[in-house]
Amino acid sequence: MAGLTATVARERLQALIPTDHAVIAAEARHDQTRRELDSARRVQAVVHEATRPSRSRKMAIDHGSGDRIVGLDAKQLRDSARALCRDHDVARTVLSVLVQNVVGSGIDVIPAPRRRGGKVDRGLAQDLRDAWDLWWDRPEVTWQHDFGKSQQLLFGGCARDGESFFQDLTGRIPYLDHGTEVPFSIEMLEADLIPLDFNDEARNIRQGVERNAWGRPVAWHVYKQHPGDGLYWKAETKRVPAEFICQLANIDRIHQVRGLSMFAPVMNRLRDIQDYEDSERIAAKVAASLCAQIIKGDASGYGSSKDPVTGQALEAAAYRALTMVPGMIGDDLLPGEQIEILDSKRPNPNVAVYINDQLRRVAGGTSTSHSSVSKNYDGTYSAQRQELVEQWGAYAMLGEFFTARTMRPIWTRFVQACLLARIVRLPRGWTQRELMAAIFVRPQMPWIDPLKEALARGEMEDRGWQAPQQNILLSGNDPEEVLRLREDWRDQTAGQSTPEGTNPDDTRASRRSLARALALKEPE
C-alpha cells in the first residue's frame, strides 16, 4: 500500500510539473508586458517638457466639464468682477471700452423687406421703421431704459457677470402695459435670477436649466424675486419655456450652458495693479510729509542734561521747528548744525512703465485695445491703425455674437407683434422671413485720419468695389436718412449759387488727384 501510494504521488507530481512551468512562464510574460507598458507610459509622459513634473512647477489638473467648472466658480467670479468694476478704475474702463465698441449707443435696425431677388418695399420698410422708432423709447417692462441703454446693460452684464438674460413678452399680458402700440416688451434678467445650485437629475435640470436628451435647453427655472433683495426674498422659482428666454453668455467650452465672467483671466492682475498703486500712493504721501532734518553739532554746545550741583535732570530744551517757505534762510541754527533735505525717492519714475506693461496684458486678456484701456495714444498713424485694425476683429466677433443672440430674436418678435397688432400687413405671397429682412448697424471702426479713410472709401466706390450705401453704413449713418437730408438740402439751396468744391464730379476728380499724390509719397 505504501509502494502504491508513493507511485501515485510520483505520477501526480510529474503531471503537475508542466502545469507549474506553464504558469511560471505566463507570469513572466505578464510581468514583461507590464514593465514594457510602464516604460511606454513613462516615455510618453516626458515627450513634452510641459508634462514633466518638477519641484517648482505643478501640473495642471482637469476639474471636469464646463458645467462642473461653472458650478464651482461662476458665483464667486461674478461677485469678484462686480466688486472690481465697482471700485477699480481700470476694470471699469475695460467694461466701458467693451460696451462702447460692441454696442455703442445701440445697434440699430434698418428694415429692408423684399421678395427673393426683388427690390426693397419702401412703404413696408417705412411702416416698420416708424413703429421701431416708437418702440425704441420704451422697449422693456419698467420703462426706465430706452433700447440703446437696454443693450448696454445686457452686454455689460454678459461681460462682467458671464451672462445675462431677457424674456420676450408678446401680446396681452396681465397687469403689463407695453407702453407703445406694439404689443411687445422685454424683461431683462440678471444672472442671479437663474439659480446655479438648482439641480434635479430626475427632470434633467442642472444649474437651473432644464434640458432634453440632446442637451438643448427646453426651460429655465427663474427666481420670482432677486436673491439679493434682502430679508423678504423667498427661494421660489417659476418654469419658463426656453422659447421665451434668450441667454447672452460668455461660453468657452462645448456643452457648457452657463457663462463665466470675461474678467476671470485678469482678476489677479487687476488686484495686483490696485495694490501696487495703493502702496505707491501711500509712499508718496509719506514722502510728502517728510522735509528735512537738523544734523547736530558739538554736544558741548547744548549743555548738560543734569544739574552739575544737585544732579537733578534739567528740563528738555524746547522743540525746535523750522517753517519751510520759499526763499527762507536758516539763521537760527546753532554752531555746528546743518540742515539736510531728505530724499524720499518719490515719486517712483518706474511706476508708469510697470503699470503700462500690466495694462497691456489686461487688454489682451479681455479682448480690448491697450491704447483704449491705458488712455495712451502715442505712436505713428501706421502703428495706431495697425492696433485698431487687429483689435476691431475682436469687437466685430463680439458684435456679431450680440446681434445673433439678442438683436435678431428681438427683431423677429417685434415684426411678429406688428403683424399681430395689424400695424403692418403681410403682402400676398410674402413669407414672414421676407418681411423680417433687415440690416443691423453695429458701431463702426473709427477714423484715425479722416482724410485718408475718406479717400480710400471714395476710391473703392469709384472703382465699383463698394456701393454708396455701404460707405454710408460704415460711417454709422442710415442711407435712407442721408438721401432724404441731401434732397432736402438740394431743395433749400435751389436757385442759389453752389459753393466751390461741392460739385460731386469736381470733388471726385480732386479726390483722385490727391489719392495719387498720397500713393506716390514715400511713407514716413
CA distance 157 to 153: 6
Cell 431704459 identifies what position? 145
Does residue 144 form part of some domain?
yes
**Cell triple for 67:** 458645467
pLDDT of residue 520: 54
Does residue 427 form part of some domain?
no
pLDDT in tens, 445-499: 887 878 888 888 888 888 888 888 888 888 878 888 888 888 888 888 887 766 6
- pTM comes to 0.78
- Please identify, among 318, 346, 365, the residue that sits at the C-terminal boundary of a domain: 365
pLDDT interval class at 508 (50, 70, 90):
low
205 and 149 both lie in a single domain: yes
Burial (CB count <10 Å: 0-12, 13-18, 19+), residue 464: exposed
Average pLDDT of span 181-210: 93
CA distance 410 to 432: 14
Cα–Cα distance list, 348 to 279, 283, 353, 375 (Å): 11, 9, 10, 20
pLDDT of residue 182: 94
**Cell triple for 504:** 460731386
Does residue 241 form part of some domain?
yes
pLDDT in tens, 365-403: 999 999 999 988 888 888 888 888 888 899 999 999 999
Cα–Cα distance list, 350 to 280, 285, 314 (Å): 11, 17, 50
Average pLDDT of span 167-178: 92
244 and 115 both lie in a single domain: yes
71 and 219 both lie in a single domain: yes
Task: Pick 461 or 522 by higher pLDDT.
Answer: 461
pLDDT interval class at 263 (50, 70, 90):
very high
Q: Tell me the backbone φ, ψ of residue 245, rounded to 5 degrees.
A: -115, 130
Task: Pick 47 or 438 by higher pLDDT.
Answer: 438
287 and 218 both lie in a single domain: no
Task: Pick 332 or 390 by higher pLDDT.
Answer: 390
257 and 288 both lie in a single domain: no
259 and 272 both lie in a single domain: no
pLDDT of residue 336: 75
Say what percent of the chain tops pLDDT 70.
Answer: 83
Least confident window among 278-287, 298-307, 406-415, 436-445:
298-307
String of DSSP letters for 468-513: HHHHHHHTT--HHHHHHHHHHHHHHTTTSPPPTT--HHHHHHHHHH
pLDDT interval class at 131 (50, 70, 90):
very high
Does residue 305 form part of some domain?
no
String of DSSP letters for 214-268: TS-EEEEEEESS-TTS-TT----EEEEEGGGEEEEE---STT--S---TTGGGHH
Average pLDDT of span 394-416: 95
Q: Tell me the backbone φ, ψ of residue 217, rounded to 5 degrees.
A: -65, 130
Distance from first CA to last CA of the chain, Å, rounded? 117
pLDDT interval class at 152 (50, 70, 90):
very high
13: pLDDT strictly greater than 80: no
pLDDT of residue 450: 80
Does residue 247 form part of some domain?
yes
317: pLDDT strictly greater than 60: no
pLDDT interval class at 170 (50, 70, 90):
very high
180 and 285 both lie in a single domain: no
pLDDT of residue 458: 84
Candidates 361, 182, 350, 401; CA nearest to 266 is: 361
pLDDT of residue 148: 95
* Radius of gyration of the chain from its Cα atoms, rounded to whole angstroms: 38
354 and 463 both lie in a single domain: no
Task: Pick 49 or 407 by higher pLDDT.
Answer: 407
pLDDT interval class at 328 (50, 70, 90):
confident
pLDDT of residue 109: 93
Does residue 380 form part of some domain?
no
- Please identify, among 244, 263, 282, the residue that sits at the C-terminal boundary of a domain: 263
Candidates 103, 106, 245; CA nearest to 188 is: 245
Does residue 213 form part of some domain?
yes
Task: Pick 29 or 163 by higher pLDDT.
Answer: 163
Average pLDDT of span 308-320: 57
258 and 278 both lie in a single domain: no
Average pLDDT of span 255-265: 94
Hey, is 73 helix, strand or coil? helix
Q: Tell me the backbone φ, ψ of residue 212, rounded to 5 degrees.
A: -90, -170
Q: Note the maximum CA span of the chain.
A: 144
Cis-peptide into 427, omega within 30 deg: no
Highest mean pLDDT among 49-63, 404-418, 443-457, 477-491: 404-418
**Cell triple for 332:** 537760527
DSSP state of 412: H
Highest mean pLDDT among 55-69, 103-117, 258-272: 258-272
Task: Pick 31 or 192 by higher pLDDT.
Answer: 192
Q: How many domains does the chain have?
A: 3
Average pLDDT of span 23-51: 70
Would you put residue 351 in left (φ > 0), alpha (ψ -120 to 50) or beta?
alpha
175 and 277 both lie in a single domain: no
Angle at 264 between CA 445 and CA 79, to 5 degrees: 110
Are 219 and 167 contacting, i.e. CB atoms less than 8 angstroms apart?
no
Show the domain range for 247.
66-263
pLDDT of residue 107: 94
- Please identify, among 365, 382, 410, the residue that sits at the C-terminal boundary of a domain: 365
Burial (CB count <10 Å: 0-12, 13-18, 19+), residue 132: buried
Average pLDDT of span 250-274: 94
Does residue 180 form part of some domain?
yes
CA distance 417 to 412: 9
pLDDT of residue 334: 72
Are 439 and 445 contacting, i.e. CB atoms less than 8 angstroms apart?
no
Candidates 162, 181, 187; CA nearest to 244 is: 187
256 and 109 both lie in a single domain: yes
Are 324 and 290 contacting, i.e. CB atoms less than 8 angstroms apart?
no
194 and 225 both lie in a single domain: yes
